[in-house]
Each structure stands twice: as C-alpha cells, then as structure tokens.
Structure 1
Amino acid sequence: MIDFLKKYTTKTILLLGGIVFVFNACSSDDDASNEEETTAINKLDLTQYNGDSKGVMMQAFYWDVEPIGEWYTTVETKLADWSAAGINRIWLPAPGKGQSGSFSMGYDPSDYFDVGEFEQHGTIETRFGSRAELEGLINTAHQNNIEVIADIVLGHNSGGGQQDNPYRPGDTEVYSLFNEANGNASGKFNRSYEHFHPNSIHANDAEALFFEKTDLCHDQQYVKDWLWLRDDSVANFYKDVLGFDGWRFDYVKSFAPSVVTEWNKKVGGFSVGENFDGNANTLKDWVDASGSSAFDFACFYRLEEALDRDKDLSILAESKNMLRKIYPEKAVTFIANHDTEKEENLNNRISYANKMMAHAYILTHDGYPTLFYSDYENPLFKEQLKNLIVIRNSLASGNVKILKAVKNEYIMQREGTDGNPGLILYINIGTEIASHEVTTSWKNKTLIDYSNNIKDNPSTNLSGTTTLTAPPKSFSIWSIAQ
C-alpha cells in the first residue's frame, strides 16, 4: 500500500477509514512528461525552404595575407566547411605576378599570365602560391560546388622597364616597356608606351587615371585583343585554362563600363565591379552601362552611419539610399573588405562591436551578400554567421517591408512566398532590451527567434499582432514555430 501511495501526490489521495480514494490518478512522472509534450516548441526544418536567392560569396583573403606563398593551400583547407555552411562562391585576389613580387597583393599587375611559374620580380611563386596550387584550389572548390571568382585589375600596370614616351616630352620617368626582360616573363601581352596614355589615339580616356603614366588604353585594339578577344587572351586563360568562373573588376572608375560589357560578352560568368562610391544612383548608372553587378558601397556606408557614425537606425529606412533598394538583383552587399579593414581606415569601417548586427542586416535583406574571410574565420563570429547563412538560404523570402525604423530600433519583415513563411529582423542598438507590437502576416502562430538571442515564444492573434523583443546592442530574427 505504501508503495502504491508513493505513485500519487497527496493532493490526489484521500484516506477514509482505510479506504483509498484516488482522484486524477496520474503519477508525477507522467505529469512532467505530458507537460513537456504540450509545451515543446520546435523550430521549422529549414532544409525544406529556399530563400529568394540561395548562396553567399566569401572574400577569401585579407590585406597582406600570411604566410607568404601558402595562401592557396590555406584556403583550400577551408572549402569543405564553407560549402557545408552555404557559401557558393569565393573571390580570390588578382592571380598575376605583381611588381612587388612575393609581397604583392596583386594590385600592381606586371605579368597577367604569370600566376606563379616564372622567375621575375624576385620570386617564382606569387604571394599566394604556385600555379599548381592555384589550379588545385580551383579544382577542390568545384568539387565542393563552389565557383571561383578572379580579381581582375585592368586599369593600370606596374613593374615594366623604363622607356621614352614621345607623347610625354621631357619626362623620362616612364616605365611602360613590358617584355620578357622587363616584367613580362611569360612573353604574352608585351606592351609599350602606345598601349598606355597618352598615345597616338588620345591623351587619356574619359575615366579617372589611377596610375597616370601606366594607365592602360582600352581603345587600342591590341590591348582589347590580349585582354579578352584572342583565344589565348587573359580572359580565356583564366577561364578555360585555370578554371575561374567569374570576375571581380577592380576600380572600375579607371576605365569605361563598355570594357566590362565586352569582357563578359566574350567569356561570360558572374561578374561584380568595384565602383567605390556611396551614391546609390551612381552605382545604378554603372550597372546599367556595364550590365554587371556592383558592390553596394551605398549600403555599406549607410550601415556604417546607422550603427556607428550617427547611431540612428532610421537612416536604413530612407528611400533609395542603397543599390539593393533600387536594383537588388545586381547589388552585392558587404560589411567589410580588404580595403575597409586596413589600419588607415579605422574611422571608415563598421566597428567590431556592431559587425554582427550589420551581418544580420545583409543576410536577411535582398541583394547578394559577401562575407569577409577575417570575419567568418573569427571564432567569436563563426557559429553565428553559419546560423545566419542558414536563415538567409531558407527564410529570406518575399518582399522587404519595414515595420519600424527609429533611432534605436529597426524592424523589417520578409513577407514570404508560397509555402515560405519569411522572417522578421529586429535590430536594437539601445542599451536595454527593446519590445514593440507589430502586425505580421502570421495569424494564430507561435513564434521562435531563429537567431537564438531571445528565448521567449510570443504568439500572434487572429489579426497577426504580437509583441516582439530584441536584446540590447543585438538583434533577433523571428519566424513561425513548427
């Protein structure tokens, strides 16, 4: 009898003259089990959903990567992890030999065809490794369903031999001779003063001059032929021989948009231009003229202003102040790159403390997001970024609708598509937890914060209304429970 009684709480047992009356005869173990079953709230299986545009690009380098000569092999070891996380493209630095030899980051191009196999400028390998290591990296990337994007520097050259230029009378400090003995050991695309500005065609083109004395003239047929028109051109060597899948065009302000248009028409592949400009309309004009995607510097600067400089999230709601708002299918968004993270740009970058909020923004909004190697491989960010990529590739679907944008709070809903519930992003830059009543498209649903920053599970009513919260100086990302 005692053993029997132990199975019941005293509240359910009444003893009268040795007779046992049992009410609601349930064991305490069963109570706990039943309570667990009725209150368990599970996330959706996100593998069943597709965002509007799956995939994220990785900038697979930073300025002055180390160790010298081993970068390609370093990146190759990361590819399986990146692919599993949802990365579908990587952007590599300019592969050709630069004037700075083993110290070159590729932005002082001397020999486009020497990708680590000719001895010149004091080295055989580039800073990143050998040609064999580059081709091995590209092959491994393809095995992991990752495309590889080459950085292409077309505006200027460096590292040639000294040469008199009759179009620069009295100026002997011109280094425009590129041949086997002068910075072009491959012997392909040898150049002279006629291929730079000024020349017999014109003094300069209509675009900005980056390195004036060795500013390539793309109106010279010889230059066009060697860069993209010949069967053995730079473009075809990179694509058909090395295996690159697309292009990141460096400093496109230094040559006409038609250069990109013609290059892409000849060799194809994904392309994005670096038009270093914070004006969204300027970026759109270049996209319209070139047909290429562009890095959304306007979005980058608005995030920097909203999170750091002005500390005012209402900036994010201003009309058409980002390329992604005007032309989302051509906007490549980012929050850091090899230039913005340099020491001299400390006052012109998104601060470390605010980076995850910025990441949450670009990985939930439209546009094609790019992650920066040093951010993704940071142990403090990596798992959060992996989770954000999963959310991006699954729930970031439907129209973008801003529900609230004030100084400290920004709430945005992706309205979802057929069968995809979408999401709500809530950013809070205040010092205390924030909450706000919103009307969603989810009626009579229990919600979960898929960013794992808030543990509460609010429910919507018949009208879709509920109160959402976000932690201080952080964010939450809401969608429906299973």
Structure 2
Amino acid sequence: MDIRNLFQSLPWAYSAPALSHMRIRPKESSENACMIQFFTWEARHPVMSWWKHFQSEVASLRDMGITQVWLPPPHKATRKTGQGYDAYDLWDLGEFDQKGTVATRWGTREELLDACKTAKEHQLLILIDAVLNHKMGADRRESFPAVPVDPTDRTKEIGKERVIQAWTAYDFTGRMGKYSDLRWTQEHFTGIDWDDSSKSKAIYKFTGEGHQGWSKHVDKELGNYDYLLGGDIDHRHPKVKEDLLAWGKWILETTGAGGYRLDAIKHMDRRFLLDFIKSGKARNADRDMFAVAEYWSGKQVLRTILPYVRAFRGQTTFFDVPLHFKFHQACEQGQAFDLRTIFNDTLVYCRPGDAVTFVDNHDTQIGQSLESWVDASFKVHAYALILLRPHGHPCAFYGDIYPNKECYDAAVARNVTKLLTARKLYAYGETVDYFLHKNCVGFVRRGSSSRPGCAVIISNGTMKSSKALCSIRMNMGLESVTKTYIPLLDSTNTPVRIDSKGWGEFYTKPKQVEVWIQE
C-alpha cells in the first residue's frame, strides 16, 4: 500500500493538520508564508552583535518574502561562544554576568528585545529555539548513586549501582533568583555521561531516592533514547515542569515571539512537551501560536516520524527530515536519481499540513553531527521544489543566502534569493504537475484572480533529444493565452509564447532549473 494511503486510512490521520490553525504570516495577509533559519553553526558578525545584525536585516527579510524567523537559542550557554545548545541558564538572555560573560554569543538581552521590537513593527514573526532536553556547565559537583547502562540499549544495566560524582548543581549566582528561584540539583535530572570521581565516561542512570529512571514516553531507538547529552532533564519532576512551563510563557511575553522551534524532541517526555505547547498557546494573544519540532531518526525513514505526528495530534509541525534526505540522495546520485520520486516517502507527501520543508540547516552543514549537505549541484533544484509549490511550510537557511565562511556559494545565494521573490510574487493558484521523465520534471502554478502564476522546469541530467534541453509542454490555462513568459533565473533563455489553448513549451538547460513568469 502507498504510504500516503496507509497514513490516511488510519482514524487518527484525520486530526486537524497543525498548519491549519497556526499563524505563519501577518494577520489579514494572503501572501505566501516562508520561514528562515537566521544563523549557521559558527555564525558571527565581524562588526556587530548577531542580534543587531538581525535587526538590520528585518526590512530586507520582509521584502524578500520572509514571514517568520527562527532565531538561535537566546539564553546563556556554557561557554562565551556557545551557540546555546549547550544550555546553562534559560532565564539569562544576556543580562547577568555568568560563565564569564554578560552577553550571550548572540548579544545582550537589550539587543535581543530591540531586534524583536523591530521585527514586530515589520510584522515579522519570531520563533524561539527552545532547548529543553538538557543542561550543561553546572556550578558544582554532587555525589549520588547511579548505574551505568549499555550505550546501545539504555534499558540494560551493565554494572552495579555505585556512587558517582557529577556536575549537576546549578546555583545561577549571577542571576540571584531573578525570574526563577529554582536551583537545579541531581534530583532534577535522570542521567549524565561522566563520573568525575573515577574520570570515566559512560551513560549513568541516576538511581537515588526519588529517581524514576528513564521516561517511557520517548523514542525507542537504542532501547530508550531519553539520554542524549549533558545533564538529562527529568521532565516528570514537579519543580522542573513548573519552571519550564513558566519559562515558556515568559520567553514569549518577554520577546513578543509567535512560537517555538523545539529542539531534540525524541529525547523528551512527550506528555511534558504537549503540556509545554498547550501552556504557550493558553496565552490569550497566542492561541494561534506556531511550533515546529526537530525529530531526526537513525533510519531516516518516514515511518519513524509518523508515530510522533500522531502523538502530537496537530499541536506542532515537524521538520520534513525525510525530504531533506531525498534531496541529499538526489545530490549524491546525480542523473541516476529519478526526479519523479523526489516526494515519495516524505512528510510533505503524506501529511503536508504538518510539514516544515527545508533543504539544509546548521546540523547538516559539512563537519557537523548530522552532516548531509546538499551541494550546489542540487541546491537550487531543492529550493524550487519547496518554495514554489503549495505544500508544506518552507524554511530557508541563512547559510544559503548570506555571505558566510562555512557554506556560502554566491551563485546559489543569488538564485535562492530570486526563488524567494518568486514565491512571494508568483507561486499562487492551482498546481499542475508534469513529472513525466526521470531527469526532467515540471509544474505550473496557474495564478489567482489577484496574483500571477509561474512555470517551473527542473533537470538533473542531459536529455537525449537533439535540443539537449529539458523541455516539457505544459498548460498555463486559458487566462494565459497569447501571453509571453520570460526566464527568471537565466536571462539567456529565450522567452516562451503561450498558444491559443494555453500550452507552452517550457525548458531549462541540462542539470539546471528555470522559473518562467509572465512578461
């Protein structure tokens, strides 16, 4: 059975898709929505803080067609240069002298709030990166009982209970109880990967009084994937839950953000996460709050993410990791890849209303833990497929657009920027697919009464025709009769004239992409 049909045949598949009740664009606007991840892994600006850099780009982002911005984690990290995924204090947004700095890697609290204010003035929605799975950089060591577990099956103990010494006490002396008076200790965690007394690295499950072991409501990879890194937070602990739910409301109110990007959800208790999302939505102004969850699977197949889509029942969208890996596969295989299958077994194919589509992000960059970079040979192709079609909610990547030392390609950036403009201005109306050839596919957007459409041709190989072009005859509708379509990406391509029945012979050069718009 086709995976989409299988998914739709299940009773719970008909719960309202997440995007149907989330705000992804300015209120009263009918423009196409689009998100951007506004940072790379090593992002730094040479002359200003990152928050000031973002603030300076707000107007340009809106002009580009961006409606939402996913900002990097705003809280105090373990190191001065920490990106925030090494979370130390969620309540310190660059306000207190902790970990040898007042500002975070990204700037000060004042700079963050100023940038958020500018974004709100331009009707640009902010997403907060919520890193709730773990803490790092504790202030003191503690001694307590724990037991080592098998790293390949965390349900199996591989040694006797012993007293370990670990960095689990967080005093936050720089903050002195402002915003939250909770001081974290070992009772608030489930495990850690270092015993300081024996100087040994292993995954230790805490077993002292009050500890319940790993949560059962996490991913089953490695037996139980509650533990990821650092001090693993026990989301079942009443004080932990109270503190994190309070932070969730506070961060939205403080920044004026419209939702969250949820980090590492497969490692966290699902019941807590549902409460966290619902708590954020309970704020009167944010009942249409947006949420997108990060879920990576070692198998990277659609079936591993579907149970999470089911469990959250429209409370959060999910990054379409299966689609990202299809893009990476197409990049690696070149013309051996069949473009007609590009959406098979992806979230946007079977559940578009729950899918946030993306090409690359900070984790997929070369050298990073989930390296699977889509290089220039297929980068623009992939962006055309997520930006110019109506399905899912696309997320562009800073590294593909802005100059940077990690992954910038000027030609790619130029074309991705053009595609963003095309999404804003032309990608409207009925979609008709012409996925006819292994190495050449196309589709048209026929436009609406108030917005024009476009035609898109994508090639990943050399055609065998005498023209040596990827060419497909496509119908733009009777409204386009006798109209002329011009190329958006390659100005050397000859314009296409639409015949008396709405047909035009659209094309692109081998291994290229072209978008055709009305003259």
TM-score by length of 2: 0.75
Distance 1:184 1:121, change over 3 A: farther
The aligned length equals 427
| 1:242 matches 2:255 | yes
Distance 1:141 1:459, change over 3 A: same
Tell whether the 8 Å contact from 2:443 to 2:455 is kept in structure 1 after alignment: yes
Cross-structure match for 2:169: 177
Distance in 2 of aligned mates of 1:263 and 1:404: 42
Q: Give 2:53's match in structure 1, choosing from 55, 74, 97.
A: 74
Distance in 1 of aligned mates of 2:57 and 2:327: 29
Tell whether the 8 Å contact from 1:281 to 1:323 is kept in structure 2 after alignment: no
Distance in 2 of aligned mates of 1:318 and 1:463: 30
Q: Give 2:303's match in structure 1, choosing from 281, 291, 306.
A: 281
Distance in 1 of aligned mates of 2:272 and 2:358: 24
Q: Give 1:330's match in structure 2, choosing from 332, 349, 354.
A: 354
Q: Give 2:109's match in structure 1, choosing from 131, 140, 145.
A: 131
Instruction: Give per-residue Cα distances to partners, 1:153-185, cap 9 Å, x unaligned.
Output: 111111122112335542424222122349987
Distance 1:368 1:464, change over 3 A: same
Cross-structure match for 2:232: 215
Q: CA deviation at 1:386?
A: 3.2
Describe the SS at the equivalent of 2:69. strand
Cross-structure match for 1:425: 456
Identity percentage of aligned residues: 23
Partner letter of residue 308 of structure 2?
Answer: W
> Which has the larger displacement, 302-311 or 354-363?
302-311
Instruction: Give per-residue Cα distances to partners, 1:332-363, cap 9 Å, x unaligned.
Output: 11111111114257962101343222222211
Cross-structure match for 2:143: 164
Describe the SS at the equivalent of 2:96. coil
Q: RMSD of aligned C-alpha atoms?
A: 2.8
Q: How does 1:72-471 map to 2 (within 5 A)?
A: 72-100=51-79, 102-160=80-138, 161-168=140-147, 169-181=161-173, 188-197=181-190, 198=206, 200-206=210-216, 207=218, 208-211=225-228, 214-228=231-245, 233-268=246-281, 269-277=289-297, 278-290=300-312, 291-317=315-341, 320-344=344-368, 348-365=372-389, 366-378=391-403, 379-398=410-429, 400-416=431-447, 422-431=453-462, 433-443=468-478, 444-453=481-490, 455-471=493-509
Instruction: Give per-residue Cα distances to partners, 1:111-139, cap 9 Å, x unaligned.
Output: 11011111121111111111111111111
Distance 1:180 1:386, change over 3 A: closer
Q: CA deviation at 1:75?
A: 1.6
Partner letter of residue 186 of structure 2?
Answer: Y
Indicate the structure (1 or 2) with the bigger Cα radius of gyration: 1
Describe the SS at the equivalent of 2:494. coil
Distance 1:414 1:323, change over 3 A: farther
Distance in 2 of aligned mates of 1:225 and 1:246: 19
Distance 1:222 1:389, change over 3 A: same
Instruction: Give per-residue Cα distances to partners, 1:274-319, cap 9 Å, x unaligned.
Output: 1113323333332332220111111111111123335445255366
Distance 1:91 1:318, change over 3 A: closer
Distance 1:54 1:258, change over 3 A: farther
Tell whether the 8 Å contact from 1:313 to 1:406 is kept in structure 2 after alignment: no
Q: CA deviation at 1:147?
A: 1.1
Q: CA deviation at 1:448?
A: 1.1
Distance in 2 of aligned mates of 1:335 and 1:318: 13
Gaps of 5+ in 1: 1-49
Distance in 1 of aligned mates of 2:449 and 2:278: 35
Gaps of 5+ in 2: 1-27, 148-160, 191-205, 219-224, 282-288, 404-409
